[in-house]
Amino acid sequence: MVPENGAKKPWEGCSICSSIPDHAYEFWKAGVCDGPGIPAVSAKLAIIGAPYFDDSTSGSNSCIKRCPECGTAYRWTTEYEYLVNGSEDDINLVRLSPEEGEKAVADVLHSVAVQKKLFQVEGARRVHLLKTSTTNRIISEAVGYLDHGQLCHDEDITFAVPALVGAFTRHVHDAKDCYTGKQLIWMLSRYAEKSKEHAKRVFDALQGLTGKDLPPEVEELVECIKKK
């Protein structure tokens, strides 16, 4: 416990944070590391708001990490600079005070809530387009938007399943390797893979398709789900 007099900071008695300095950093140039380095134990810190936020170093990036043991928060940042003679990567991990940490975590969670809401609103608009459009380009863009949300942010796209299945009969199947049809198969089979309930939901929606001119993709997806 933290004494009220403030003599001891929360992280001082923590098995994880006690070996992380107030400011850890490392500087990479052309694959060679300089600087004191970031302690390996920092891998135990949890990224707040994942998967919306991450600590990928493929470009400039930042996130807030929090210790699962004592709750101390850190601001992690990386500045990436592409240079012809070897790119540079500057990585910092800065410990926040309890007050700074509370605010930073609240800001991140607020930002995630806003992004989730945006996905719901824009997702609903795309579902409407899926239900009304017969233009492959519009269907493809809608599927792409929903797929990206599912893949990158682990969004639940259950609300879009009936419209996605319906798009099989709505798109113009004008080629053997129809891109829009392939997109629908990829996306719905991945969704179905997630659980038995998901598979059943897609399967049931497929059974509801009627009409004598069902495109071959419907049968392909049914077979794909049956195998699972």
Q: How far is the CB of 19 from Zn ion (least distance, A)?
A: 10
For Zn ion, the binding residues in 166-185 under the rule CB under 5 A are none
Phi, psi (5° rounding) for residue 70?
-110, -5
Piece of the chain touching Zn ion by CB under 5 A; list 12-20, 57-65, 122-130, 216-224: 12-20
Q: Is 202 in the site for Zn ion (CB under 5 A)?
A: no
CA-closest candidate to residue 160, choices 197, 189, 188, 196? 188
Q: Is 98 in the site for Zn ion (CB under 5 A)?
A: no
Q: Specify which residues 79 forms β-bridges with.
A: 90
Q: How far is the CB of 73 from Zn ion (least distance, A)?
A: 10
Piece of the chain touching Zn ion by CB under 5 A; list 59-67, 79-87, 98-106, 166-174: 59-67
Q: How far is the CB of 68 from Zn ion (least distance, A)?
A: 8
Q: Is 105 in the site for Zn ion (CB under 5 A)?
A: no
**Could you give the residue ranges of the DSSP H alpha helices within the chain?**
98-132, 136-153, 161-170, 179-193, 196-207, 216-227
Q: How far is the CB of 111 from Zn ion (least distance, A)?
A: 24
- Identify the burial level of 45 via C-beta atoms within 10 angstroms of its C-beta, where 0-12 means exposed, 13-18 middle and 19 or more buried: buried
Residue selected from 24, 38, 64, 67 as contacting Zn ion according to rule CB under 5 A: 67
Q: Is 17 in the site for Zn ion (CB under 5 A)?
A: yes
Piece of the chain touching Zn ion by CB under 5 A; list 11-19, 38-46, 122-130, 158-166: 11-19
Q: How far is the CB of 52 from Zn ion (least distance, A)?
A: 23
Q: Is 14 in the site for Zn ion (CB under 5 A)?
A: yes
- Residue 43 or 175: which CB sits closer to Zn ion? 43
Q: How far is the CB of 17 from Zn ion (least distance, A)?
A: 3
Q: How far is the CB of 185 from Zn ion (least distance, A)?
A: 46
Size of the site for Zn ion (CB under 5 A): 7
Residue selected from 26, 54, 69, 122 as contacting Zn ion according to rule CB under 5 A: 69
Peptide bond between residue 51 and the one before it cis (omega within 30 degrees of 0) = yes
β 46-47/61-66 pair status: antiparallel
Residues 6+ apart with CB under 8 A from 95: 11, 17, 20, 21, 22, 23, 72, 73, 74
CA-closest candidate to residue 93, choices 78, 80, 75? 75
Query: Which residues contact Zn ion by CB under 5 A?
Result: 14, 16-17, 67, 69-70, 72
